[in-house]
């Protein structure tokens, strides 16, 4: 079973909390939220009492047994009130359990420990105060990397499914950083790369040419600097692929480039000195006679079901192209060499082109100085996101430039927005005198944080309006 | 007799040396309030000590009650011990009654039990189906499922005690499931708080020996919902006291509490209805009848004069509004207790028929003892209701006498007529403020624990719309007082109205504008409104609360 089993899901849990963090001035220890348990479960398995119904379970700290959580399903009172919409989460004093049913009868359960404050009490025994925190949880339902659970069931029965799940989630959960999830994770959007028309056309013609010459290629996606420029995939699939690329695949391969060309760190990669192109998936060295030409398989949705594809990710400098090829086709050494020769030089050239334009644009005046407002924008229609709050999204931690409390307010506003369909606008002033503006219009959401203590409502409104126009 | 009025006025000034004459104070009280206003000088602030226990409107009512109990407790401690003795007697009687399985009507029962029964009966004699329980009692129907807010109360043994909709019998299995959930989580030394689903919330409140559950489809936060459950819990405690409640369940774990509470369901029904509509419950505050200051002073001084040895509080109500309140020195009433009294009076018509005498526990004052309340309407045609609260069980005739003395005084000074006239217009239209886009507002003075709010404009007169508006206020309140992330200021633009919420150390206000209102207008309105309230404050608020 060599299928790379990377189901990408479950982003977004909570707002930045560095755990444990010492609160300034006092002896309080603040613990961020942490993942206790994770299960995948099917109530249809093992109809008899005592039989194992779960497919996968992973326990952290081992404080809650799986029975504990799953028993919730045994008596779901929530069904009484809403037979069609089962509960999504259960909050207790110590933890929260999130339920998600990606496919019928398949349940994912996630138990997250609430953040808490530990105070040294007089008696000596630490006094634990559980602090309720809003924990965001959005399981992205995707069959991108593993296809449907039920399909795996048909293929190889429960054992196969269990094995696959085990493989994927073990690694996935290790990499999950609950403490640093925030609003952007809730959106799960795609950051698009701003580009002028000419360069965009160049990229498009490049993509077309490649699809023409490599006729095996079915879909293509083009990214620069971890931002999307062109994608032939359906939006929802792209969203998950994007997430995988930017948070998992790219960060894993960034080191060699940073190491410099002549450094010993840099492995004997393609051996090709004419360009910087290399494969991020599949063979690391084409010249290596032992090289295996196996690529990860992904599953994308189509009109009638889904299709299985090979995923080839090829990168030159900051530009990356994803080629997706029907899984039935066999990928040979010849094909890879052809691709390398064809794509490598052109991509290298294109990458430096984009870089040049990017730098010109960046040099436009006004943007250099620190603006007195910061924003997050998300468009539900095209999943576009933009943030000036986040410095840079890295693999594990997203660095934000604002206080976690402010991020929580953004989260609160967002959850209010998601509860109603109407367009709304909320302006709030925090206890720390920041102004936070949330605006929802059509399918778009905008959140602005202003640091102007003495502004009044009218000024804030004017400022926002002008900034939005300018932006 | 006119001299008498004058005299009392003078007395009043001398008695309270700290209290400067109103005119002088007026100068000190800033005229155009600014956000910098400190607590105690905001419009509507009481000039002397407030009559209520000071509360924050976001006060977490789920906190243990015991904390609030001490301190207030020097209250004739002997009386209270006596009370609790009475109480245990009473409860033994009640338990005895229970063992006899429904043969409670038997003659020869002790007087006390009769008294208790009577009080319950009097409380319960109102129409038994206030919210059409029959139509929605089928718990499998969609109508039942789609109710905006369900509330259930059950015992730790999983026995149903109360359900807002539907009959408790039909729900016993559901309640059993709920209890199973609660105890399941508790088995892990944990506590269940809530379940969140798409568009609904299930909130659990554990108040041993009871479990309260709310299933809501509203925008209210978990915090707000558990606050409401807390009200229901205290409503039950106010009929039984905590001591008795505990005793009952200690003796017999699977006791069916409905036997004891039979007929009191409409108290909960009414309370829940009020919680959905009355901003006072949200703000932990009460509103006053707008009344000329002279009239109110006469009423207050008359209440003051009609005192008795064991009298702790004299409260004059007009419907849901307060006319005047006089308290024993150093004894403060908690707004929540007053709400429970309001609810008791408001949900039964039997007090109209004569003088009522009922034991009542004021859970925020002392959850383990009974007070005895003399409840009577001053006039059969009006809503004026006098509540005299005493610590002594034997005080009925004494309090009845107090009432007569009070009435007599009112008549002598012609205040009664003035009061009745004022009651012709118990509310005021929002137009008085003179801002056309302002539809409605709620203003609470924090130090006095009083709020004022105009009558609802035509747009919100339908029940549905009224509850929607309250829902919006609840939403703003929940956000602004969020225990994790409190805010100062919220401006919310929706499709149908624009809302502004503002909290300072002295006051909090919630304004509702038409959707055409702009932010500039909202800002100007706030200033204008505060000025207007300052101008009207002696009519809208009780500025000088009195003690005996």
The complex's ipTM works out to 0.72
Helices (H), B100-202: 111-124, 142-145, 172-186
Minimal-distance CA residue of chain A relative to B178: A77
Q: At what angle do helices A333-362 and A197-213 cross, to 10 degrees?
A: 180
- B493 contacts chain A (CB < 8 A): yes
- B219 contacts chain A (CB < 8 A): yes
- Test B178 with A412 for CB contact under 8 angstroms: no
Residue pLDDT, tens place only, B402-437: 888 888 888 888 888 888 888 888 888 888 888 888
Of B196, B486, B488, the CB nearest to A87: B196
Average pLDDT over residues A90-100: 70
Q: How far is B187 from chain A (nearest CA, A)?
A: 10
Which chain A residues are closer than 8 Å to B475 by Cβ?
416
Task: For residue B193, report the phi and psi dihedrals to the nearest 5 degrees.
Answer: -110, -55
Q: 3-state class of A47 per DSSP?
A: coil
Residue pLDDT, tens place only, B141-178: 667 777 788 888 888 888 888 888 877 777 777 787 77
Report pLDDT for B443: 92
Residue pLDDT, tens place only, A2-11: 222 222 222 2
Minimal-distance CA residue of chain B relative to A100: B197
Which chain B residues are closer than 8 Å to A90 by Cβ?
192, 194-196
Q: How far is A183 from chain B (nearest CA, A)?
A: 16
CB A450 within 8 A of CB A372: yes
- Test B195 with A422 for CB contact under 8 angstroms: no
Which chain B residues are closer than 8 Å to A415 by Cβ?
none
Higher pLDDT, B47 or B6: B47
Higher pLDDT, B19 or A454: A454
Residue B458 has pLDDT above 80, yes or no: yes
Which chain B residues are closer than 8 Å to A116 by Cβ?
none
Q: How far is A86 from chain B (nearest CA, A)?
A: 6
Distance of CA A314 to the CA centre of its chain: 20
Residue B154: its H or E element: strand B149-155
Minimal-distance CA residue of chain B relative to A429: B489
Report pLDDT for A259: 47
Q: How far is A169 from chain B (nearest CA, A)?
A: 25
CB A449 within 8 A of CB A435: yes
Rg (chain A; Cα; Å): 24
Which chain A residues are closer than 8 Å to B180 by Cβ?
75
Q: Which of residues 444-483 of B touch A (CB under 8 A)?
A: 475, 479, 482-483
Residue pLDDT, tens place only, B348-403: 877 888 888 888 888 888 888 888 998 988 887 778 888 999 888 888 888 888 88
Q: How far is B140 from chain A (nearest CA, A)?
A: 8
Q: How far is A316 from chain B (nearest CA, A)?
A: 45
Report pLDDT for B496: 87
- B145 contacts chain A (CB < 8 A): yes
- A148 contacts chain B (CB < 8 A): no
Average pLDDT, chain B: 74
Of A75, A93, A405, the CB nearest to B193: A93
Distance of CA A22 to the CA centre of its chain: 28
Residue A200: its H or E element: helix A197-213
Dihedral (CA of B380, B385, B386, B388) sign: positive
Which chain B residues are closer than 8 Å to A431 by Cβ?
486-488
B116 vs B375: CA distance, rounded Å? 15
Confidence of residue A384 (pLDDT cuts 50, 70, 90): confident
Of A85, A92, A427, the CB nearest to B192: A92
Minimal-distance CA residue of chain A relative to B173: A77
Q: How far is A55 from chain B (nearest CA, A)?
A: 23
Report the percent of chain A where pLDDT is more than 90: 0
Centre a 10 Å sphere on the Cβ of residue A49 and count the other Cβ atoms it contains.
5
Q: Which of residues 149-178 of B touch A (CB under 8 A)?
A: 150, 174, 177-178
- A91 contacts chain B (CB < 8 A): yes
Of A415, A457, A466, the C-alpha closest to A436 is A457
Which chain B residues are closer than 8 Å to A408 by Cβ?
484-485
- B122 contacts chain A (CB < 8 A): no
Higher pLDDT, B385 or A51: B385
Minimal-distance CA residue of chain B relative to A437: B491
Which chain A residues are closer than 8 Å to B493 by Cβ?
424-426
- Test B483 with A456 for CB contact under 8 angstroms: no
Residue pLDDT, tens place only, B75-100: 333 333 343 344 334 333 333 333 33
Report pLDDT for B68: 33
- A204 contacts chain B (CB < 8 A): no
Residue A129 has pLDDT above 50, yes or no: no
B344 vs B271: CA distance, rounded Å? 9
Residue B510 has pLDDT above 90, yes or no: yes
Minimal-distance CA residue of chain A relative to B205: A92
Q: A349: Cβ–Cβ under 8 A, 6 or more apart, which residues?
A: none
Report pLDDT for A17: 27
Cut 0.90: pTM above it: no
B72 vs B53: CA distance, rounded Å? 10
Q: At what angle do helices A457-470 and B519-540 cross, to 10 degrees?
A: 160
Q: How far is A267 from chain B (nearest CA, A)?
A: 50
Confidence of residue A165 (pLDDT cuts 50, 70, 90): low
- A1 contacts chain B (CB < 8 A): no
Higher pLDDT, B131 or A98: A98
Q: In B298-437, which ranges are E strands?
A: 311-318, 321-327, 356-360, 371-377, 384-390
Report pLDDT for A300: 74
Report the percent of chain A where pLDDT is more than 70: 46
Categorise residue A102: left if φ over 0, alpha if ψ from -120 to 50, beta otherwise: alpha
- A403 contacts chain B (CB < 8 A): no
Report pLDDT for A155: 56
Minimal-distance CA residue of chain B relative to A415: B219
- A428 contacts chain B (CB < 8 A): yes
Distance of CA A52 to the CA centre of its chain: 31
Residue B526 has pLDDT above 80, yes or no: yes
- Test B191 with A93 for CB contact under 8 angstroms: yes
Torsion of CA B431, B437, B442, B446, to 10 degrees: -100
Structure tokens at A236: 């929802």
Categorise residue A55: left if φ over 0, alpha if ψ from -120 to 50, beta otherwise: alpha
End-to-end Cα, chain B, rounded Å? 21
Residue A185 has pLDDT above 50, yes or no: yes
Confidence of residue A107 (pLDDT cuts 50, 70, 90): low
Structure tokens at A317: 């400098």
- Test A64 with B522 for CB contact under 8 angstroms: no
- Test B195 with A91 for CB contact under 8 angstroms: yes
Q: B250: Cβ–Cβ under 8 A, 6 or more apart, which residues?
A: none
């Amino acid at each position: 079973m060599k299928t790379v089993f990377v189901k990408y899901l479950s982003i977004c849990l909570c707002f930045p909390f560095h755990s444990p963090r010492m609160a300034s001035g006092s002896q309080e220890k603040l613990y961020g939220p942490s993942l206790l348990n994770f299960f995948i479960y099917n109530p249809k398995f093992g109809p008899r009492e005592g039989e194992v119904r779960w497919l996968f379970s992973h326990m952290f700290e081992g404080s809650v047994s799986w029975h504990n959580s799953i028993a919730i399903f045994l008596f779901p009172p929530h069904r009484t009130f809403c037979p069609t919409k089962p509960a999504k989460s259960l909050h207790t004093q110590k933890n929260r359990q999130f339920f998600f049913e990606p496919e019928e009868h398949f349940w994912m359960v996630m138990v997250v420990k609430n953040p808490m404050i530990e105070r040294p009490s007089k008696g000596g025994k630490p006094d634990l105060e559980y602090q309720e925190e809003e924990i965001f949880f959005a399981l992205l339902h995707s069959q991108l990397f593993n296809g449907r659970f039920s399909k795996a069931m048909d293929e190889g029965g429960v054992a196969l499914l269990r094995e696959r799940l085990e493989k994927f989630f073990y690694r996935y959960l290790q990499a999950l950083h609950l403490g640093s999830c925030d609003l952007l994770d809730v959106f799960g959007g795609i950051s698009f790369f701003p580009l002028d028309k000419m360069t965009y056309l160049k990229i498009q013609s490049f993509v077309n040419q490649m699809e023409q010459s490599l006729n095996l290629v079915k879909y293509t996606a083009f990214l620069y600097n971890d931002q999307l420029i062109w994608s032939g995939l359906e939006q929802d699939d792209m969203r998950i692929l994007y997430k995988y690329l930017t948070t998992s695949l790219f960060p894993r391969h960034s080191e060699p480039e940073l190491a410099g060309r002549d450094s010993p760190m840099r492995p004997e990669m393609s051996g090709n000195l004419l360009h910087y192109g290399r494969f991020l998936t599949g063979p690391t060295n084409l010249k290596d006679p032992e090289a295996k030409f196996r690529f990860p398989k992904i599953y994308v949705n189509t009109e009638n079901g889904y299709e299985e594809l090979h995923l080839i990710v090829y990168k030159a400098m900051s530009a990356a192209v994803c080629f997706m090829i029907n899984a039935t086709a066999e990928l040979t050494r010849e094909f890879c060499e052809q691709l390398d020769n064809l794509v490598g030089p052109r991509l290298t050239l294109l990458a430096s082109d984009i870089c040049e334009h990017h730098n010109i644009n960046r040099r436009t005046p006004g943007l250099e100085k620190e603006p007195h407002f910061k924003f997050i924008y998300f468009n539900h229609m095209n999943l576009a996101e933009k943030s000036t709050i986040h410095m840079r999204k890295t693999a594990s931690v997203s660095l934000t430039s604002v206080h976690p409390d402010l991020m929580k307010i953004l989260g609160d506003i967002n959850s209010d927005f998601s509860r109603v369909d109407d367009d709304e606008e909320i302006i709030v002033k925090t206890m720390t005198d920041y102004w936070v503006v949330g605006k929802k219009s059509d399918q778009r959401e905008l959140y602005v944080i202003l640091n102007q203590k003495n502004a009044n409502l009218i000024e804030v409104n004017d400022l926002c309006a002008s900034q939005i126009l300018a932006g | 007799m006119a001299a008498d009025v004058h005299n009392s006025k003078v007395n009043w000034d001398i008695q309270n040396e700290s209290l400067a004459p109103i005119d002088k104070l007026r100068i000190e009280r800033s005229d155009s309030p600014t956000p910098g206003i400190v607590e105690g000088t905001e419009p509507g602030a009481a000039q002397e000590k407030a009559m209520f226990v000071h509360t924050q409107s976001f006060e977490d009512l789920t906190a243990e009650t015991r904390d609030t109990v001490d301190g207030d407790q020097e209250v004739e401690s002997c009386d209270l011990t006596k009370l609790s003795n009475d109480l245990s007697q009473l409860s033994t009687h009640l338990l005895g009654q229970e063992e006899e399985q429904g043969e409670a009507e038997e003659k020869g029962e002790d007087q006390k039990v009769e008294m208790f029964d009577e009080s319950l009966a009097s409380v319960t004699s109102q129409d038994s189906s206030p919210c059409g329980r029959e139509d929605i009692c089928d718990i499998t129907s969609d109508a039942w499922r789609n109710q905006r807010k369900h509330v259930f109360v059950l015992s730790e043994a999983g026995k149903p005690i109360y359900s807002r909709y539907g009959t408790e019998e039909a729900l016993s299995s559901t309640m059993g499931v709920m209890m199973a959930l609660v105890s399941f989580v508790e088995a892990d030394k944990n506590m269940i708080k809530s379940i969140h689903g798409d568009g609904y919330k299930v909130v659990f409140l554990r108040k041993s020996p009871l479990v309260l559950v709310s299933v809501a489809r509203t925008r209210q936060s978990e915090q707000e919902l558990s606050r409401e459950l807390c009200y229901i819990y205290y409503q039950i405690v106010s009929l039984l006291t905590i001591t008795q409640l505990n005793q009952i369940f200690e003796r017999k774990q699977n006791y069916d509490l409905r036997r004891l509470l039979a007929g009191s369901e409409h108290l909960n029904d009414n309370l829940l209805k009020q919680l959905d509509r009355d901003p006072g419950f949200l703000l932990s505050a009460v509103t006053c009848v707008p009344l000329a200051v002279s009239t109110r002073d006469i009423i207050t001084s008359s209440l003051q004069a009609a005192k008795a040895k064991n009298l702790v509080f004299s409260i004059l109500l007009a419907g849901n509004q307060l006319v005047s309140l006089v308290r024993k020195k150093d004894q403060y009433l908690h707004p929540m207790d007053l709400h429970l009294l309001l609810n008791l009076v408001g949900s039964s018509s039997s007090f109209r028929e004569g003088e009522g005498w009922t034991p009542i526990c004021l859970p925020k004052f002392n959850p383990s003892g009974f007070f005895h309340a003399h409840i009577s309407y001053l006039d059969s045609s009006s809503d004026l209701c006098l509540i005299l609260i005493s610590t002594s069980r034997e005080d009925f005739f004494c309090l009845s006498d107090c009432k007569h003395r009070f009435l007599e005084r009112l008549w002598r000074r012609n205040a009664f007529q003035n009061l009745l006239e004022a009651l012709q217009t118990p509310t005021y239209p929002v137009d008085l403020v003179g801002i056309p886009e302002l539809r409605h507002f709620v203003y609470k003075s924090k130090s006095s624990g009083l709020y004022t709010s105009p009558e609802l404009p035509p747009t919100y007169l339908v029940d549905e719309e009224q509850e929607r508006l309250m829902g919006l206020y609840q939403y703003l309140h929940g956000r602004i007082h969020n225990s994790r992330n409190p805010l100062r200021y919220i401006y919310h633009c929706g499709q149908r109205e624009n809302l502004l919420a503002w909290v300072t150390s002295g006051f909090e206000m919630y304004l509702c504008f038409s959707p055409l209102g702009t932010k500039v207008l909202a800002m100007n309105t706030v200033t204008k409104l505060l000025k207007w309230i300052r101008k009207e404050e002696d009519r809208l608020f009780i500025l000088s609360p009195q003690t005996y």
